[in-house]
């Protein structure tokens, strides 16, 4: 692992240990260009790790420190995801497939970080999950199912029990809130769910969307009456 310390970090607030891992794409032409930007004080952005297309991992910020990668964000009532997470940037423009070596290296890195900080697979999230309507990374081409098979993320391919079941925005949003999403903008929730779990679906809210969200809420959601997992 390369070391390229970034000056863009601070102390975690309200916690000493990360609970989440947030995955990003760099949206830049090269990994080196992204690293230079993430290390430039004037840009005031950073991440803990960058993984290039060949699988080379560069650490920019120590895990114990607060990197500046999440921006305006929300998950399960938490709005300072920078303080509660590890940020991993993947060198990718957002329009290209992810390289096999890159994903293999990411999986190894995730195993190490998750083990070190006892982070469960359901707490590995995309930037698109926590910054609805603002961010789309790691994008529709990111192989979430491969990460789930490796125990580094979760996936759902739930199908509706019947194609004639009514589609309910109320139930969809209740389950979305249980899972962790900010439900203040329903269409953004739907877009984020599809981006991650079934990017081939388009159009209005469907029975498939509701089935997947219900599965996620039932398996990984919090009790809204208690506010705890």
**E strands, the chain, where?**
2-3, 9-11, 20-25, 49-51, 57-59, 65-67, 85-90, 124-126
Cis geometry, peptide bond prior to residue 138 (ω within 30 degrees of 0): yes
Q: Which is the catalytic residue, given 16, 42, 44, 89?
A: 89
Please say if 171 is a catalytic residue.
Answer: no
Q: What residues are paired with 59 via a beta bridge? A: 3, 49
The Cα angle at residue 60 between residues 54 and 62, in degrees rounded to 5: 125
How many CB atoms neighbour CB 55 within 10 A? 16
Rama region for 55: left / alpha / beta (φ>0; ψ in -120 to 50; rest): left
Question: In the structure encoding, which two tokens stand for residue 144, read together?
Answer: 């979430």
Nearest-angstrom CA–CA distance, 222 and 7 = 36
- Of 86, 69, 88, 87, residue with least CA distance to 15: 86
Q: Which residue has the tokens 């070596």?
A: 101
The catalytic residue positions are 89
């Amino acid at each position: 692992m390369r070391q390229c310390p970034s000056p863009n970090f601070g102390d975690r607030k309200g916690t000493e240990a990360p609970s989440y891992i947030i995955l990003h794409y760099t949206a830049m032409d090269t990994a080196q260009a992204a690293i230079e930007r993430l290390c430039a004080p004037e840009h005031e952005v950073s991440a803990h790790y960058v993984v290039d297309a060949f699988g080379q991992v560069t650490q920019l910020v120590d895990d114990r420190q607060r990197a500046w990668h999440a921006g305006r964000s929300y998950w399960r009532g938490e709005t300072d995801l920078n303080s509660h997470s590890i940020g991993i940037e993947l060198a990718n423009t957002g329009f290209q497939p992810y390289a096999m070596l890159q994903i293999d290296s990411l999986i190894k890195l995730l195993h190490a970080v998750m083990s070190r900080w006892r982070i469960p697979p359901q707490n590995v999230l995309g930037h698109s999950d926590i910054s609805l309507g603002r961010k789309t990374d790691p994008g529709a081409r990111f192989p979430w199912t491969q990460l789930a098979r490796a125990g580094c993320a979760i996936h759902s391919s739930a199908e509706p029990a019947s194609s004639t079941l009514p589609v309910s925005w109320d139930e969809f949003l209740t389950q979305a809130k249980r899972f962790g999403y900010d439900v203040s903008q329903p269409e953004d929730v739907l877009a984020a769910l599809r981006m991650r779990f079934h990017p081939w679906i388009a159009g209005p809210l469907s029975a498939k969307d509701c089935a997947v969200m219900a599965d996620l809420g039932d398996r990984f959601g919090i009790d809204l009456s208690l506010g705890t997992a």
